[in-house]
Structure 1
């Protein structure tokens, strides 16, 4: 007997499952209320929900602001105040008032830091969403972040996002990365909805063509993460620093899943804008998922998706990170909806089962964010529970049956 025959039989159409997802959403929002920092922004929490330190984290401040703004749009009580705190901090304490832009923490405490496109993408995501939630100060934050992003990070010549600069905006890094461009794709598709400007869809398609339809396709749909400034792959990049949490060596299956569902969003966004939709988008999305699953998911003796593997398909870092499973769940659900194919429901249930049994911390709250290859608590890659963004976005998207519904809620609806 087949497990399922059509999407209508999916867990995502079952009240018990969507109730579980909504419970996760509420628990995650509640856990991270304690991350407010007295110096501005939000701090990282340990696995018990206590501060890891007293230094605000600008990236997580942007991500928390984005998440609590989305929660405010959805009507979750208490979210407006936390989104306001984040916007205020990004406009003031965490902003580099001398040179403009943002560093990893308070500007005076980050003298050797760099201004990274990755961080600025999330500041702009936060500002864009906060505007739709009518959060005080969000218009100013949006205009500032958008101006800086267009001035320094988008390359019209290369049709991609550049990586980083010194604090004074000198010394452009020669490295080119897939990771920052992937999150820029996420941002651009939301800007396409809120600004009603198709330039963001054009930029999105340019990024996908280069990194997925050219590079990943030429590598059997293993996503190449690292490049030089001429977009030549750097296969050995960070071979001696395999635990890097943003630029790890080798192939990251979690990013394969993430690109997969972003491509499906782009396909729908192009359709909604009545623009030409390349037929290869859906094929590339399928291949990305299948490759990430083939090399990432492990059944014996312990289940879960590994962090990285090498160019021979051999595991490198076998930690099971929470964000990888969140992205895999969204990708499986997205393909299931798009293709009405039962195999993705099977994958989805496997992933959700893993999340429920291994990642959700029923005692202290939130999710464990780093497990070892035997699914024991670890801190090899991630320390504590600093991240709301990945788990929250998964639990928020899935009951609404995927990203495009969420994107539609970001259409301009200002309250006067």
Structure 2
């Protein structure tokens, strides 16, 4: 048997360089006043897009990881993100940094091009990434990050975490007075990632237990009962809504049907969760492998074209056939983690297959960051995404195979792994 790629010095050097190129591309997103901008296909800030909290948080997380890797200049970029997400230490009257709501607390979804609040709803999706960014920056020892993390924990515990249900609410109006009549798997999945990062940063085991509660409901109960077809959308009473957004099938955050990439992302997160628990349940690995297998069987090249389709209907037929960069990135990361956990050759084979595709079709050597979307024939497309605003998935796909399995990438890097 050939040695796994992740054990080969040349491949490891290639991965590290690949991650570095993406972070270098992303450094152009530094916004002069508020966080990180949306980048176009050439890596230039796109002012008309405004500034988004989830992008600012993901960039802050990436640059905190880059600092932990010893990359000069990354620490100040992480600090820029922390400042953009923080309330000035002088108090609310010291000024508003923009993304943080200094009147009602929490974080806006975005700022418009003129710097005014754009999306003023308080969403679990954005708040999960505030937790992740603050955790990574705090682990990296960046100034103000621990205070930001404490603030984010307070908001999430007060408004999103439901201890009785063991999962998170979706969103509120700006004043936290009216919750949205909707619950989502996507935001809860990212809360699992965020909770694991918080637990690693604080040493508090309650966060891994909370992550386990979320995973138990969505994967071990809901997905397992449906042969691993995970509904993404729910009523306020947690009843699945299988027809949700049937008229907006290519929605970037709430698409209709089964989202293949999330099945792969869940598979990886279950293995990370296993490492965070002193006595993890055996179903975590079983369900991770089942989710991975179902995603590959139903979503990989099922329409005659190369790559993963974006979504499927409830009879496993492709709905949105565009190939998203984040899906192949999560496939690579899941294969790497499952191979490291099990040693099974099939995961290594898929890891090689998907890196070959990502390098050939998605990676843009001239620009650095991946093309975000391809059509079913492998040509650049913009049906769902425009520009290249996000390196988080592809960056982690390059970094995760370099390290042992841990609950948090930042915690592993801080230990010198």
Cα separation, 2, equivalents of 1:70 and 1:112: 28
Matched, 1:34 2:28: yes
C-alpha spacing 1:238/1:300, structure 2 compared with 1 (3 Å) = closer
Partners of 1:153 and 1:405 lie apart in 2 by 22
Aligned length: 403
Work out whether 1:82 is the aligned partner of 2:77. yes
**How far apart, CA to CA, are the structure 2 residues paired with 1:240 and 1:118?**
22
**How far, CA to CA, are the matches of 2:119 and 2:395 in structure 1?**
32
Q: What whole-Å deviation, never above 9, does each CA across 1:5-39 have from its counterpart, x for those lacking one?
A: xxxx1111112211211111110111011111123
> In 2 relative to 1, CA 397–19 (structure 1 residues): closer, same or farther, beyond 3 Å?
same
Question: Which TM-score applies when normalising by structure 1?
Answer: 0.93
Identify unmatched segments of 5+ residues in structure 2.
Answer: 87-96
Aligned runs of 1:167-246 on 2, under 5 Å?
167-246=174-253
Q: How much does 1:295 deviate?
A: 1.1
Q: Measured at CA, do residues 126 and 50 of structure 1 come closer, stay the same or move farther in structure 2, by a change above 3 Å? A: same
Q: Is the aligned partner of 1:344 residue 2:344? A: no
Match of residue 102 from structure 1: 107
- Equivalent position to 2:282, from 271, 279, 284: 279
Q: Per-residue displacement from partner, 1:321-351 (whole Å, max 9, x unpaired)?
A: 1110111111111111222111111111111
Matched, 1:158 2:161: no
> Bigger CA drift: 102-111 or 220-229?
102-111
Q: Structure 2 length as normaliser, TM-score?
A: 0.93
Where do 4+ consecutive residues of structure 1 move more than 6 Å?
410-413
| Cα separation, partners in 2 of 1:112 and 1:184, compared to 1, 3 Å | closer
Deviations 1:163-218 (A, max 9, x none): 00001111101211111111111111122222222111211111111100000001
State the SS of the aligned residue for 1:109.
coil
Distance across 1 between alignment mates of 2:84 and 2:161: 25
- Who is 1:294 aligned against? 297
Any conservation in 1 of the 2:326–2:393 contact (CA below 8 Å)?
Answer: yes
3-state DSSP of counterpart to 1:99: coil
Give the CA deviation at 1:409: 2.7
Deviation at 1:141, TM superposition (A): 1.2
Structure 2 counterpart SS, 1:39: coil
Q: Per the alignment, do residues 80 and 112 of structure 1 end up closer, same or farther by CA in structure 2, a change over 3 Å counting? A: closer
Change in CA separation of 1:412 and 1:172 when aligned onto 2, cut-off 3 Å: farther
1:317 and 2:327 aligned: no
Pick closer, same or farther for the CA change 1:285–1:319 going to 2, 3 Å: same
Deviates more, 1:369-378 or 1:333-342: 333-342
Residues 1:36 and 1:369: Cα distance change in structure 2 (over 3 Å): same
Q: 1:145 aligns with which of 148, 152, 162?
A: 152
Q: Secondary structure at the match of 1:48?
A: coil
Deviations 1:214-263 (A, max 9, x none): 00001101122111122111000111001111111000110000000111
Distance in 2, matches of 1:194 and 1:76, equals 21
